[in-house]
Amino acid sequence: SQRAEQKIHQDLLERQKAILSLFQPGKQLSFREIFKDLSGSIPERTLRYDLAILRDKKLLSSKGKGRAIVWHL
């Protein structure tokens, strides 16, 4: 439901919202592209942690393995 979706977005940290703002439907980004687009404003380890949280909340998906992983909505 839309209310549940709003609740999920309220629970996100500002940096997680910034990550989500990089994506549009159909757009895929690698970890390096995401890191670069955020101008390195957060440490790599934190970015990996946030991407995992966003995936667990089903806000982002990933495909591929290792360095070949791409992220998408």
- Tell me what pLDDT residue 5 has: 57
pLDDT at 3 over 70: no
Angle at 47 between CA 57 and CA 45, to 5 degrees: 120
Confidence band for 10, pLDDT divided at 50, 70 and 90: confident
- Tell me what pLDDT residue 7 has: 59
- How, if at all, do strands 29-30 and 61-63 pair? unpaired
